[in-house]
Amino acid sequence: MQNGFIDTLNVTHKVQYKRPKKNINGVLLLDKPLGFSSNQALQKIKWLLQAAKAGHTGTLDPLATGLLPLCFGEATKFAHYLTDADKTYVATLKLGVTTTTGDAEGEVLAQQAVNVNQKQFEAACKQFIGEISQVPPMYSALKHEGKALYEYARAGVEIERKARLVHIHAIQVNSFQADEAKITVTCSKGTYIRTLAEDIGAVLGCGAHLIGLRRTATAHYNIVQAVTLAQFEAMPAEQRAALLLPEDSAVQHLPSIQLDEDSSFYLQKGQAVWQSGQIPQGLLRLYNEQQQFLGLGEVQSDGKIAPKRLIVHKEVE
């Protein structure tokens, strides 16, 4: 009886002090710290904001740092546009050494002498500009039969992976010294910089692996706009909320139109609407006469604008 009474008190205590969740909406640009997985960083920020709903927009390995856009509330409806966007990385390569993981976390597989100059290195990098084929690494979060590849790798099991096409838009050599080089890579989604480092090393004949990686841009967002986790933790609650960018910042690449009052009303009821004037084809950002973002719509074959992904406007609790 006494134990039951104590248990009841404990449950009541937990419920009483449970942090309330808020309807937080917007995009936070986080400079992810070293040693945190993308999900760990997300959960930490979500807890600090007391946000009800959140998601990140493209995994960064724990050994990587840099720009990680986090979407909250209604902004999560547009997160995939950022996941699918081009990204820019600054990568540091160690020449002459290959590892089991393609980065500094793995065990050394082989070591070779490096007899490469900067011109040869730049020439090797140029071979990878454009559309290339990459085999995803075993140490990755890609799933096979519901399990991440890195789980198989840690168990010593090799899974056959299909090569896939990615696009390297640009590679700039920032520095080159003996057996270490730093490059800036702008690429499509799904590009593995670890694999790129290994492939550059293979072309040079000496091998290579990644010893540093920092994401500096995702779509139109840049690392200079980002806040560090330490900075965010040190801020008062109202200052944290003020850092959130609006939901439509995630889809700035899409054309926009303003709807009149009637069209805005019926669109928000889920109906396709007419709008006078020249309307761009494809997906559109939609705004009402007060310049409030309503969400995304698409022009149908009959000329009407159909709602595709609408914002639900709620007050922050």
Structure confidence by residue, pLDDT tens digits, 81-116: 999 999 999 999 999 999 998 999 889 999 999 999
3-state class of 254 per DSSP?
A: coil
More confident residue, 288 or 314: 288
Domain 87-210, what architecture? Answer: 2-Layer Sandwich (3.30)
CB atoms within 10 A of CB 277: 6
Give the burial class of 258: count Cβ atoms within 10 A of its Cβ; 0-12 exposed, 13-18 middle, 19 or more buried.
Answer: middle
Catalytic residue selected from 7, 31, 61, 262: 61
Band (pLDDT 50/70/90 cuts) for residue 135 is: confident
254-310, which class in CATH? Answer: mainly beta
The model's pTM: 0.88
Distance CA 213, CA 90 (A): 6
- Strands 97-99 and 221-222, how do they pair? unpaired
pLDDT recorded at residue 159: 74
Band (pLDDT 50/70/90 cuts) for residue 2 is: very low
3-state class of 228 per DSSP?
A: strand
pLDDT digits (tens, 9 = 90+) for 12-70: 444 444 667 889 999 999 999 999 999 999 999 999 999 999 998 888 888 899 999 99
Mean pLDDT of the chain: 89
Catalytic status, residue 61:
yes
Distance CA 66, CA 60 (A): 8
pLDDT recorded at residue 110: 96
pLDDT recorded at residue 18: 60
pLDDT recorded at residue 71: 97
Residue 67 in tokens: 């720009």
More confident residue, 14 or 131: 131
- Within the chain, all domains assigned CATH 2.30.130.10 are found at 254-310
Distance CA 12, CA 232 (A): 31
- Within the chain, all domains assigned CATH 3.30.2350.10 are found at 87-210
Taking a C-beta distance cutoff of 8 angstroms, is the pair 81, 251 a contact? yes
Distance CA 191, CA 89 (A): 11
More confident residue, 112 or 148: 112
Calculate mean pLDDT across residues 191-207: 96
The CATH label, of 3.30.70, 3.40.50, 3.30.450, 3.50.70, for the domain at 2-84+221-246 is: 3.30.70
Residue for token pair 């989604």? 189
Calculate mean pLDDT across residues 134-153: 73
Taking a C-beta distance cutoff of 8 angstroms, is the pair 306, 300 a contact? yes
pLDDT digits (tens, 9 = 90+) for 225-278: 999 999 999 999 999 999 999 999 999 999 999 999 999 999 999 999 988 878
pLDDT recorded at residue 141: 67
Torsion angle defined by CA atoms of residues 156, 160, 164 and 170, in that order, rounded to the nearest 10 degrees: 30
